Structure 1
Protein backbone atom coordinates (compact mmCIF):
# COMPACT_ATOMS: atom_id res chain seq x y z
CA UNK A 1 0.00 0.00 0.00
CA UNK A 2 1.28 3.47 -0.81
CA UNK A 3 1.81 6.20 1.75
CA UNK A 4 3.90 6.62 4.87
CA UNK A 5 3.45 4.16 7.73
CA UNK A 6 6.20 5.18 10.17
CA UNK A 7 4.49 7.02 13.05
CA UNK A 8 7.55 9.15 13.85
CA UNK A 9 7.84 10.31 10.23
CA UNK A 10 4.09 10.95 10.04
CA UNK A 11 4.06 13.11 13.16
CA UNK A 12 7.21 15.05 12.26
CA UNK A 13 6.18 15.65 8.63
CA UNK A 14 2.39 15.99 8.67
CA UNK A 15 2.36 19.74 7.82
CA UNK A 16 -1.23 20.55 8.83
CA UNK A 17 -3.08 22.99 6.58
CA UNK A 18 -6.18 24.87 7.73
CA UNK A 19 -8.91 24.72 5.10
CA UNK A 20 -10.84 27.81 4.05
CA UNK A 21 -14.42 28.12 5.20
CA UNK A 22 -16.59 26.66 7.91
CA UNK A 23 -18.12 23.19 7.77
CA UNK A 24 -21.13 21.51 9.35
CA UNK A 25 -22.41 17.97 9.69
CA UNK A 26 -26.02 17.54 8.53
CA UNK A 27 -28.09 14.38 8.62
CA UNK A 28 -30.89 13.20 6.34
CA UNK A 29 -33.04 10.39 7.74
CA UNK A 30 -34.30 8.68 4.57
CA UNK A 31 -31.53 9.67 2.15
CA UNK A 32 -29.09 7.49 0.24
CA UNK A 33 -25.75 8.11 -1.47
CA UNK A 34 -26.15 10.58 -4.29
CA UNK A 35 -29.07 12.38 -2.69
CA UNK A 36 -28.45 16.06 -2.00
CA UNK A 37 -25.58 16.33 -4.49
CA UNK A 38 -26.63 19.97 -4.94
CA UNK A 39 -25.11 20.62 -1.50
CA UNK A 40 -21.65 19.66 -2.80
CA UNK A 41 -20.74 17.51 0.23
CA UNK A 42 -17.08 17.19 1.10
CA UNK A 43 -17.82 13.80 2.68
CA UNK A 44 -20.74 11.43 3.16
CA UNK A 45 -21.35 8.50 5.46
CA UNK A 46 -24.41 6.27 5.52
CA UNK A 47 -25.34 5.33 9.09
CA UNK A 48 -28.32 3.28 10.23
CA UNK A 49 -30.00 6.52 11.37
CA UNK A 50 -29.52 8.28 8.04
CA UNK A 51 -27.05 9.87 5.63
CA UNK A 52 -24.56 12.29 7.20
CA UNK A 53 -23.10 14.94 4.92
CA UNK A 54 -20.19 17.25 5.68
CA UNK A 55 -20.89 20.50 3.88
CA UNK A 56 -19.87 24.15 3.91
CA UNK A 57 -21.83 26.16 6.46
CA UNK A 58 -22.91 28.81 3.95
CA UNK A 59 -24.45 26.13 1.72
CA UNK A 60 -26.29 24.62 4.70
CA UNK A 61 -27.56 28.06 5.71
CA UNK A 62 -28.83 28.83 2.19
CA UNK A 63 -30.64 25.46 2.16
CA UNK A 64 -32.14 26.09 5.61
CA UNK A 65 -30.53 22.99 7.11
CA UNK A 66 -30.13 22.37 10.82
CA UNK A 67 -26.76 21.60 12.37
CA UNK A 68 -25.38 21.51 15.89
CA UNK A 69 -21.88 22.96 15.60
CA UNK A 70 -19.49 24.70 13.23
CA UNK A 71 -16.12 23.19 12.35
CA UNK A 72 -12.90 24.09 10.58
CA UNK A 73 -11.06 21.49 8.56
CA UNK A 74 -7.38 20.69 8.90
CA UNK A 75 -5.65 18.52 6.30
CA UNK A 76 -2.45 16.69 7.17
CA UNK A 77 -0.56 17.14 3.91
CA UNK A 78 1.72 14.10 4.30
CA UNK A 79 0.60 11.09 2.26
CA UNK A 80 -0.27 8.70 5.06
CA UNK A 81 -1.01 5.06 4.45
CA UNK A 82 -4.44 3.76 5.38
CA UNK A 83 -2.52 1.04 7.22
CA UNK A 84 -0.50 3.47 9.36
CA UNK A 85 -0.86 2.74 13.08
CA UNK A 86 -1.06 5.42 15.76
CA UNK A 87 -1.56 8.66 13.83
CA UNK A 88 -5.21 9.15 14.73
CA UNK A 89 -4.54 8.20 18.36
CA UNK A 90 -1.62 10.63 18.66
CA UNK A 91 -3.60 13.50 17.15
CA UNK A 92 -6.69 12.79 19.24
CA UNK A 93 -4.59 12.63 22.39
CA UNK A 94 -2.83 15.92 21.62
CA UNK A 95 -6.11 17.71 20.86
CA UNK A 96 -7.79 16.19 23.92
CA UNK A 97 -5.06 17.75 26.08
CA UNK A 98 -6.25 21.14 24.77
CA UNK A 99 -9.98 20.39 25.11
CA UNK A 100 -10.53 20.11 21.36
CA UNK A 101 -12.69 17.46 19.70
CA UNK A 102 -11.13 15.61 16.77
CA UNK A 103 -13.50 14.45 14.06
CA UNK A 104 -11.08 12.54 11.84
CA UNK A 105 -11.75 11.44 8.28
CA UNK A 106 -9.15 9.26 6.59
CA UNK A 107 -9.06 9.45 2.81
CA UNK A 108 -6.69 7.64 0.44
CA UNK A 109 -3.90 10.24 0.48
CA UNK A 110 -4.43 12.33 3.59
CA UNK A 111 -6.08 12.50 6.98
CA UNK A 112 -8.51 15.34 7.65
CA UNK A 113 -9.51 16.61 11.08
CA UNK A 114 -12.58 18.72 11.76
CA UNK A 115 -12.32 20.76 14.96
CA UNK A 116 -14.58 23.32 16.63
CA UNK A 117 -14.27 26.51 14.57
CA UNK A 118 -13.50 28.67 17.60
CA UNK A 119 -10.64 26.34 18.59
CA UNK A 120 -9.03 25.93 15.16
CA UNK A 121 -6.07 28.24 15.89
CA UNK A 122 -5.38 26.36 19.12
CA UNK A 123 -5.64 23.07 17.22
CA UNK A 124 -3.06 24.24 14.68
CA UNK A 125 -0.73 25.25 17.53
CA UNK A 126 -1.22 21.89 19.22
CA UNK A 127 -0.41 19.98 16.02
CA UNK A 128 2.70 22.12 15.52
CA UNK A 129 3.97 20.79 18.86
CA UNK A 130 4.77 17.49 17.12
CA UNK A 131 7.53 19.32 15.23
CA UNK A 132 9.20 20.63 18.41
Structure 2
Protein backbone atom coordinates (compact mmCIF):
# COMPACT_ATOMS: atom_id res chain seq x y z
CA UNK A 1 0.00 0.00 0.00
CA UNK A 2 1.50 3.34 -0.97
CA UNK A 3 0.93 6.69 0.67
CA UNK A 4 1.06 10.15 -0.86
CA UNK A 5 4.60 11.56 -0.85
CA UNK A 6 4.99 14.76 1.16
CA UNK A 7 6.63 17.98 0.01
CA UNK A 8 10.43 17.93 -0.28
CA UNK A 9 11.20 21.44 -1.62
CA UNK A 10 12.38 23.58 1.32
CA UNK A 11 11.01 26.87 -0.01
CA UNK A 12 7.55 25.35 -0.44
CA UNK A 13 7.72 23.65 2.98
CA UNK A 14 8.52 26.97 4.63
CA UNK A 15 5.86 28.82 2.65
CA UNK A 16 3.21 26.33 3.75
CA UNK A 17 4.48 25.76 7.32
CA UNK A 18 1.20 26.79 9.02
CA UNK A 19 2.28 26.00 12.62
CA UNK A 20 -0.52 25.10 15.03
CA UNK A 21 -0.15 25.02 18.84
CA UNK A 22 -1.89 22.02 20.42
CA UNK A 23 -3.86 22.58 23.62
CA UNK A 24 -2.37 19.65 25.57
CA UNK A 25 0.89 19.93 27.54
CA UNK A 26 3.39 17.07 27.51
CA UNK A 27 6.28 15.63 29.49
CA UNK A 28 9.11 13.28 28.56
CA UNK A 29 9.40 10.21 30.76
CA UNK A 30 11.67 7.19 30.66
CA UNK A 31 10.71 3.70 31.75
CA UNK A 32 14.15 2.33 32.70
CA UNK A 33 14.60 -1.03 31.03
CA UNK A 34 11.04 -0.68 29.71
CA UNK A 35 9.86 -1.85 26.33
CA UNK A 36 6.89 -1.34 24.02
CA UNK A 37 3.69 -2.42 25.71
CA UNK A 38 4.81 -0.92 29.04
CA UNK A 39 3.17 2.37 30.03
CA UNK A 40 0.08 2.07 27.83
CA UNK A 41 -2.04 3.71 30.54
CA UNK A 42 0.01 6.88 30.07
CA UNK A 43 -1.44 7.43 26.56
CA UNK A 44 1.90 8.31 24.91
CA UNK A 45 1.82 10.44 21.76
CA UNK A 46 5.39 9.44 20.89
CA UNK A 47 7.94 6.92 22.03
CA UNK A 48 11.46 5.81 21.31
CA UNK A 49 13.14 2.63 22.42
CA UNK A 50 16.63 3.48 23.69
CA UNK A 51 19.26 1.18 25.15
CA UNK A 52 18.62 2.66 28.60
CA UNK A 53 14.84 2.26 28.46
CA UNK A 54 11.66 3.36 26.72
CA UNK A 55 11.21 7.12 26.37
CA UNK A 56 7.57 8.21 26.28
CA UNK A 57 6.07 11.61 25.49
CA UNK A 58 2.88 11.67 27.51
CA UNK A 59 0.20 14.24 28.30
CA UNK A 60 1.07 16.05 31.52
CA UNK A 61 -2.34 15.20 33.00
CA UNK A 62 -1.64 11.45 32.54
CA UNK A 63 1.76 11.79 34.23
CA UNK A 64 0.11 13.58 37.16
CA UNK A 65 -2.60 10.91 37.44
CA UNK A 66 0.09 8.20 37.46
CA UNK A 67 2.14 10.14 40.06
CA UNK A 68 5.16 10.27 37.74
CA UNK A 69 7.85 12.80 38.55
CA UNK A 70 9.03 14.98 35.67
CA UNK A 71 11.24 18.02 35.36
CA UNK A 72 9.93 19.90 32.34
CA UNK A 73 6.61 20.60 30.64
CA UNK A 74 6.34 21.09 26.88
CA UNK A 75 3.78 22.29 24.40
CA UNK A 76 3.57 20.76 20.96
CA UNK A 77 3.49 22.83 17.80
CA UNK A 78 2.49 20.81 14.75
CA UNK A 79 3.72 22.02 11.38
CA UNK A 80 0.62 21.30 9.36
CA UNK A 81 2.45 21.23 6.03
CA UNK A 82 2.64 17.65 4.71
CA UNK A 83 6.40 17.21 4.79
CA UNK A 84 8.24 14.26 3.32
CA UNK A 85 10.44 12.13 5.54
CA UNK A 86 13.09 12.51 2.85
CA UNK A 87 12.93 16.31 2.69
CA UNK A 88 16.15 18.17 3.48
CA UNK A 89 16.45 21.32 5.57
CA UNK A 90 13.11 21.81 7.32
CA UNK A 91 14.28 20.61 10.74
CA UNK A 92 17.47 22.66 10.45
CA UNK A 93 15.61 25.81 9.35
CA UNK A 94 13.01 25.58 12.11
CA UNK A 95 15.44 24.67 14.90
CA UNK A 96 17.82 27.45 13.82
CA UNK A 97 15.00 30.00 13.84
CA UNK A 98 14.03 28.97 17.38
CA UNK A 99 17.64 28.70 18.60
CA UNK A 100 18.28 32.30 17.55
CA UNK A 101 15.52 33.26 19.98
CA UNK A 102 16.90 31.06 22.77
CA UNK A 103 14.07 28.51 22.48
CA UNK A 104 14.94 24.83 22.78
CA UNK A 105 13.04 22.39 20.59
CA UNK A 106 12.66 18.64 20.41
CA UNK A 107 11.54 17.66 16.91
CA UNK A 108 9.55 14.51 16.22
CA UNK A 109 9.07 13.69 12.55
CA UNK A 110 6.03 11.56 11.82
CA UNK A 111 4.64 10.24 8.54
CA UNK A 112 2.79 13.43 7.55
CA UNK A 113 3.91 16.25 9.82
CA UNK A 114 6.72 17.44 12.05
CA UNK A 115 5.89 18.05 15.71
CA UNK A 116 7.90 20.52 17.78
CA UNK A 117 8.00 20.12 21.55
CA UNK A 118 9.02 23.44 23.09
CA UNK A 119 9.12 24.50 26.76
CA UNK A 120 5.56 25.39 27.75
CA UNK A 121 6.53 28.87 28.96
CA UNK A 122 8.04 29.65 25.54
CA UNK A 123 5.28 28.21 23.34
CA UNK A 124 3.76 31.58 22.43
CA UNK A 125 7.13 33.02 21.39
CA UNK A 126 7.94 29.88 19.41
CA UNK A 127 4.61 29.97 17.59
CA UNK A 128 5.07 33.65 16.72
CA UNK A 129 8.59 33.02 15.42
CA UNK A 130 7.41 30.15 13.24
CA UNK A 131 4.37 32.03 11.97
CA UNK A 132 6.70 34.84 10.90
CA UNK A 133 8.68 32.33 8.81
CA UNK A 134 5.66 30.93 6.98
CA UNK A 135 4.40 32.42 3.74
CA UNK A 136 5.51 32.99 0.15
CA UNK A 137 8.82 34.71 1.05
CA UNK A 138 9.62 32.17 3.78
CA UNK A 139 13.03 30.99 2.55
CA UNK A 140 14.31 34.57 2.63
CA UNK A 141 13.26 35.05 6.27
CA UNK A 142 15.21 32.14 7.77
Please give the alpha-carbon distance, in whole angstroms, between the structure 1 residues aligned to 2:62 and 2:36. 18
Shift of 1:29: 0.5
Q: Deviations over 1:82-112 (max 9, x none)?
A: 0000000000000001110110000000000
Aligned partners of 1:30, 1:97: CA distance in 2, in Å?
A: 36
Q: Once the 2 structures are TM-superposed, how far is the Cα of residue 131 of structure 1 from its aligned partner?
A: 2.8
Residue from 124, 130, 137 that aligns with 1:127: 130
Alignment partner of 1:60 is 2:67: no
- Within a 5 Å distance, the mapping from 1:93-132 to structure 2 comes to 93-131=96-134
Relative to its length, the structure with more strand (as a share) is 2
Q: What residue in structure 2 maps to residue 86 of structure 1?
A: 89
User: Root-mean-square deviation (CA), in Å?
Assistant: 1.0
Corresponding residue number in structure 2 for 1:27? 30
Q: How many residues align?
A: 132
Quick one: distance in 1 between partners of 2:70 and 2:128? 27
Q: Does 1:18 align with 2:21?
A: yes
Q: What SS does structure 1 have at the residue aligned with 2:27? A: strand
Unaligned runs of 5+ in 1: none
> Partner of 1:69 in structure 2?
72
TM-score (norm 2): 0.90
Report the alpha carbon displacement of residue 65 of structure 1 after superposing the two structures with TM.
0.6
> What do residues 13-39 of structure 1 show as CA deviations (whole Å, max 9, x unaligned)?
010010111100000102101111111
In structure 2, the gaps of 5 or more residues are 136-142
2:138 aligned partner: none
